Amino acid sequence: PYDMLIIGGGPAGAAAAVYAARKGIRTGVAAERFGGQVNDTLGIENYISVSMTDGPKFAAALEGHVKDYKVDIHNLQRAEKLTPAAQPGGLVEVELANGAKLKGKTVILSTGARWRNVGVPGEAEYKNKGVAYCPHCDGPLFKGKPVAVIGGGNSGVEAAIDLAGIVKHVTLIEFGAELRADAVLVKKLESLPNVTIIKNAQTTEFTGTNGKLDGLNYTDRVSGEARRVEVEGCFVQIGLVPNTEWLRGTLELSKHGEIIVDTKGATSIPGVFAAGDVTTVPFKQIIIAAGDGAKAALGAFDYLMRN
Ligand code: FAD
């Protein structure tokens, strides 16, 4: 068995692996796709000390750093079931899709999250070419340009307020009859001069020219008419889904499906820790996930010493 078994090989899992290995304990990582969401990122400009890199380069650097140490990497392996230890201090078991069972005295869950897609034509085609999901990451790319935000919940309205300070104009598109964000945020949004709010709008297609987004089409759900907004960027803010489907009913999750953790990354199951986008940690960013992975590994190491 491993002293520390890490599930997920994104920034959180990679950081946990480096911290665990440096304690000289038996460390294993199982990941469906090493690198995680970073693989889908074009430019990364906000990982402090690295002015500019790209996703594949950053993912390769994560893997390279982990491989500097003695860590067993089970890449392209999907975890499907977690069984808590029979007694405190016992072994936690994780079953993989291929039927293999891995065991750890401690387990760190760092399976990340995924942005919910609108699921209309053009979205995949113009992803990273105008269609974006992370305002903190990609907002500055659209400085002085017209953009749209899809989604009128807290994240969409926060994104629109944030972007309004950078871009030329923001069109916020909401499917329902009202914005669902907190009243204070809606009031703030409505006070901004360079923001238009469109409600009852169902996005039907993203369009582009020369491989770059040039706008989106939507249906006015009240009149049934087809309409269009011309933008160079569109931020999709209709939810971030944590990869915890396989853990439902096993440990405590928030109402959004995130793993609930304490300040040391401990979950509701003894010996099982969690880190990064899959948890309740606020603000889903690479640098935050990496720090969180380091913290959970130290939390798990502390647990090992006491059990
Ligand atoms: P993830 O990166 O999601 O990694 C999860 C890992 O778990 C992966 O290895 C995955 O394969 C694995 N996994 C999932 N389920 C299972 C399972 N059942 N069994 C085994 N393995 C599993 N952040 C920034 O700070 N700057 C940016 O510029 C930036 N740009 C972004 C651009 C895009 C398009 C996207 C999608 C995100 C961006 N982010 C950016 C956010 C950032 O990528 C995430 O916050 C970060 O990757 C989270 O790290 P993580 O390790 O928690 O999870």
Q: Is the CB of 265 under 6 A from ligand 1?
A: no
Q: Which stretch of DSSP H or E encloses residue 20? A: helix 11-21
Say if residues 134 and 288 touch (Cβ distance below 8 Å).
no
Residue 154 is encoded by which pair of tokens? 């807290």
- SS3 string, 49-73, reads CECCEEHHHHHHHHHHHHHCCCEEE
> Which of 18, 34, 38 most suits a substitution to test ligand 1, by most atoms within 8 Å of the C-beta?
38
Distant-in-sequence, close-in-space partners of 287: CB < 8 Å, separation ≥ 6: 11, 46, 47, 48
Say if residues 12 and 290 touch (Cβ distance below 8 Å).
yes
The number of helix segments (H) and strand segments (E) in the chain equals 6, 19
Residue 78 is encoded by which pair of tokens? 């999907």
Backbone angles phi, psi at 120, to 5 degrees: -125, 165
Q: Is the CB of 69 under 6 A from ligand 1?
A: no
ipTM of the complex: 0.99
Positions marked active-site: 134, 137-138
> Which of 29, 32, 37, 237 most suits a substitution to test ligand 1, by most atoms within 8 Å of the C-beta?
37
Q: Is the CB of 285 under 6 A from ligand 1?
A: yes
Which atom of ligand 1 is found nearest the CA of 138?
Answer: 28
Q: Is the CB of 141 under 6 A from ligand 1?
A: no
Instruction: Give 34 Cα–ligand 1 centroid separation in angstroms.
Output: 10
> Which of 33, 41, 47 most suits a substitution to test ligand 1, by most atoms within 8 Å of the C-beta?
41
Instruction: Give 240 Cα–ligand 1 centroid separation in angstroms.
Output: 11
Q: Note down pLDDT in tens along the chain; length 307 residues.
A: 999 999 999 999 999 999 999 999 999 999 999 999 999 888 899 999 999 999 999 999 999 999 999 999 999 999 999 999 999 889 999 999 999 999 999 999 999 999 999 999 999 999 999 999 999 999 999 999 999 999 999 999 999 999 999 999 999 999 999 999 999 999 999 999 999 999 999 999 999 999 999 999 999 999 999 999 999 999 999 999 999 999 999 999 999 999 999 999 999 999 999 999 999 999 999 999 999 999 999 999 999 999 9
Say if residues 23 and 301 touch (Cβ distance below 8 Å).
yes
